[in-house]
């Protein structure tokens, strides 16, 4: 069943939704570019075994956060009835082509209370979306220093288990 209508959580009018696999070559550069220009982002799952849960999360994002742009894989589609009328969709290839000749944007002054990204939390009763601020990211960087600089070149580090 479809998730219940949600009150918009967005505290800003600009939010980027990213529906790319984590292994996509543009995944990390896209997130870094968004953070450089203070554009909060939310990641849409592409690999959940439970496709119904994945679809529910997608609807929750578009109803609650109302992102202005969604970047998807080349060849993927995002129907207007899912994303809403105010969300533009670009494939990773289209975005790369538009970015080639664009001037480098001037990075705005970041504020610690501004939203860095939106994340899912399982919750005890339903999936919820939480905001992570720039201050929270900086805190994690200093409080958990060993996780940011793992020992050994091949030692995998799990920062958080997700469902």
Per-residue model confidence as pLDDT tens digits over 145-160: 776 665 555 655 566 6
Q: Where are the beta strands (DSSP E) in the chain?
A: 16-19, 41-43, 69-72, 88-91, 115-121, 128-133
Residue 104 is given by DSSP the state P
- The partner residues of 128 in beta bridges, in order of sequence, read 121
End-to-end, the C-alpha distance of the chain in Å comes to 19
Do 42 and 15 form a contact (C-beta atoms < 8 A)? Answer: yes
Tell me phi and psi for residue 3, to 5 degrees: -65, 155
User: Would you say 45 and 115 are in contact if contact means Cβ atoms under 8 Å apart?
Assistant: no
Asked if the model's pLDDT at residue 77 lies above 50, the reply is yes
pLDDT at residue 5 above 50?
no
User: How many C-beta neighbours within 10 Å does residue 28 have?
Assistant: 11
The token pair at 131 is 């905001």
The predicted pLDDT at position 20 comes to 92
The arithmetic mean of pLDDT across residues 89-100, rounded, is 86
At 14-67, the pLDDT tens digits run 899 999 998 898 888 898 888 888 889 999 988 888 888 888 888 888 998 999
The DSSP-derived string for 35-71 is HHTT--EEEPPS--S-HHHHHHHHHHHHHHT--SEEE
What pLDDT, on a 0 to 100 scale, did the predictor assign at position 81? 79
* CB-based burial label for 153 (10 Å; 0-12, 13-18, 19+): exposed
46: CB partners within 8 A, 6+ apart:
19, 20, 21, 54, 73
Strand, helix or coil at 11? coil
């Amino acid at each position: 069943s479809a998730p219940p209508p949600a009150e918009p959580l967005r505290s800003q009018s600009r939010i980027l939704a990213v529906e790319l696999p984590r292994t996509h070559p543009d995944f990390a550069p896209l997130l870094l570019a968004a953070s450089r220009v203070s554009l909060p982002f939310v990641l849409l799952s592409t690999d959940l075994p439970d496709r119904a849960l994945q679809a529910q999360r997608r609807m929750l994002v578009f109803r609650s956060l109302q992102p202005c742009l969604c970047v998807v894989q080349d060849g993927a589609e995002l129907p207007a009835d899912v994303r809403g009328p105010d969300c533009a969709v670009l494939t990773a290839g289209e975005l790369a082509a538009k970015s080639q000749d664009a001037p480098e944007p001037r990075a705005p002054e970041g504020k610690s209370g501004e939203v860095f990204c939106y994340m899912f939390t399982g919750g005890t009763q339903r999936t919820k979306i939480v905001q992570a601020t720039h201050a929270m990211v900086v805190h994690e960087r200093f409080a958990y220093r060993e996780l940011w600089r793992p020992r050994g070149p091949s030692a995998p580090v799990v920062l958080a288990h997700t469902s």
